[in-house]
Structure 1
Amino acid sequence: MSDVGRPPLHVGIIMDGNGRWAQSRGLARISGHARGAKRVTEIVRGCPDIGVTHLTLYAFSTENWRRPVAEVEGLMKIFQQYILSKLDGLQREGVRVRFIGMRHRIPLKLQRLMARLEEATAECERLNLTIAIDYGGRDEIARAVQKMTAELGDGPVEEIGEDSMAAALDTAGLPDPDFIIRTSGEQRVSNFLLWQGVYAEYSFPEIPWPEFTLAHLRDEVTAFRSRDRRFGAVGAPTSVSITAGG
């Protein structure tokens, strides 16, 4: 069954290009991240109006710990400020927030704010916002396998399948992404939703995240709607002609 014309239900975004955007303007890299955080507000607010019901944002990867300490600390402060400033607004606008990834390496204050935001928005339904912090697709899959094998015990390994794998991932209960966008033109998936994104459509716009507006997202969604997603099948012919001996 063709999916042409249908809006994406779940959009994932790799918010790339913040640091380079800042450096190209003679600013510190952290200034780009701060500008990028402001861009999140516009995108989140506008998603429901363009048919997006689920939005997953790649905020901080497992590899990002390798960045300079000052930049990492600055990012953690930005995350804290974002949650504190948007807590009431997200709840009021009907945005349910979830966080995926590992949490034990994140500062305790931020962990508590994350849990507070999840609890405060748990009943919201207008938009499902998932934020990936200290997240890596390979790590997520490894943790899911560890969880399944621990639960399985001495049971038959055949009980492990795609459904049980999906249920053990951080994104359990969420639909797989239909469309994944990476800003700033880099054409890599960078360890983002490796299991979930197997059938997602991808786009790599050149524009850096601090300049990626709701209008750009709307254009991307419009282009997505024209794609023919067959999920490994072959599109049905419009007519079938049978001839003798054929």
Structure 2
Amino acid sequence: MDYSNLKVPNHVALIVDGNGRWATERGLSRSKGHEQGFVNVKKLSRYIFSKGINYLSAYLFSTENFKRSKAEVDFLMNLLTGRMKDILDFCREDKIKVVFSGRREGLSDKVMKTILEIEDETKDYDKVFNLCFNYGGHAEIVDATKKIVNDVESGKLNIDDLNEDNYSHYLYQDLPPVDLLIRTSGEMRLSNFLLWQVSYAEFYFPKTYFPDFDEKEFDKAIIEYTKRDRRFGGINYEDKSN
């Protein structure tokens, strides 16, 4: 679809949701749903970047997901390392930087090795694919605050100089605010995702499970985003009803 007459967000955040339910409704194992989800991550993200979006954050695995069965957690960890090569290949071809947001403590050596290699191989590119893995919004804010305390105690930062702009430097990744947040599967909650970054984002909650959320579904999200009036706390003087 031609985006020339549409508003194109600079930063899209995507909560990948519904993989397990997609599989269950088809009589498949949850692992098959996660596999199909990762296939779609590659396909959809490539399309998103081709439409002029500069930043994409994808919520792949939360800190809370460790509460799932050990078998499912182990499968997801292995799936990440196995599918990262596919993501790396297209990011290298399309010159997209891959970064990871999340706590790295507790991740296996294999997962960490994969993360570090991909970050290093793509570090010189401009567009950014932010993969949120072992991520939690509360954890990110707590970890950022700890870094600030350390810098204040060491004399690197004067506490009076701390503001909303430089606070973001202490987050896992210093990226622009999210413009559009999409959560698939019909669930209408943030689930602890990018709490600092989505303060003025537009939200879009399609009922489609993520494995079926294709290019046409994303186009619908952009059409809806184009209709929105982003006021950032101000007033639209053509409509003062609110």
Aligned equivalents of 2:128, 2:215: Cα separation in 1: 17
Give the equivalent residue in structure 2 for 1:141.
141
- Contact preservation (8 Å) 2:179, 2:198: yes
SS at match of 1:234: coil
Aligned equivalents of 1:229, 1:188: Cα separation in 2: 20
SS at match of 1:217: helix
One-letter amino acid of the counterpart of residue 46, structure 1:
Y
Matches within 5 A, 1:1-246: 5-125=6-126, 127-153=127-153, 157-172=159-174, 174-237=175-238
Give the equivalent residue in structure 2 for 1:242.
none
Distance 1:204 1:44, change over 3 A: same
Deviation at 1:5, TM superposition (A): 4.8
- Contact preservation (8 Å) 1:99, 1:133: yes
- Contact preservation (8 Å) 1:46, 1:214: yes
State the superposition RMSD in angstroms.
1.7
Deviation at 1:48, TM superposition (A): 2.7
SS at match of 1:192: coil
Identity over aligned residues, as a percent?
36
Aligned equivalents of 1:15, 1:109: Cα separation in 2: 23
Structure 1, 157-166 or 200-209: larger mean CA deviation: 157-166
- Contact preservation (8 Å) 1:8, 1:225: no
- Contact preservation (8 Å) 2:46, 2:90: no
Deviation at 1:237, TM superposition (A): 4.6
One-letter amino acid of the counterpart of residue 194, structure 1:
L
- Contact preservation (8 Å) 2:6, 2:222: no
Aligned equivalents of 1:203, 1:184: Cα separation in 2: 11
Alignment coverage as a number of residue pairs:
233
Distance 1:5 1:229, change over 3 A: farther
Superimposed CA distance per residue, residues 178-226 of structure 1 (whole angstroms, 9 cap, x where no aligned partner): 0000000001100000011000000110000011001111110121011
Runs of 5+ consecutive residues of structure 1 not aligned to the other structure: 239-246
Which structure carries more relative contact order (alpha carbon 8 Å, separation 6+)? 1
Runs of 5+ consecutive residues of structure 2 not aligned to the other structure: none
Aligned equivalents of 1:202, 1:86: Cα separation in 2: 26
Structure 1, 189-198 or 80-89: larger mean CA deviation: 80-89
SS at match of 1:91: helix
Aligned equivalents of 1:90, 1:5: Cα separation in 2: 25
- Contact preservation (8 Å) 1:96, 1:118: yes
SS at match of 2:206: coil
- Select the structure of larger CA radius of gyration: 1
Superimposed CA distance per residue, residues 78-124 of structure 1 (whole angstroms, 9 cap, x where no aligned partner): 10111133323321121210000111211111111111011111122
Deviation at 1:162, TM superposition (A): 1.1
Superimposed CA distance per residue, residues 37-82 of structure 1 (whole angstroms, 9 cap, x where no aligned partner): 0001111111133231111000000100000000000001110111
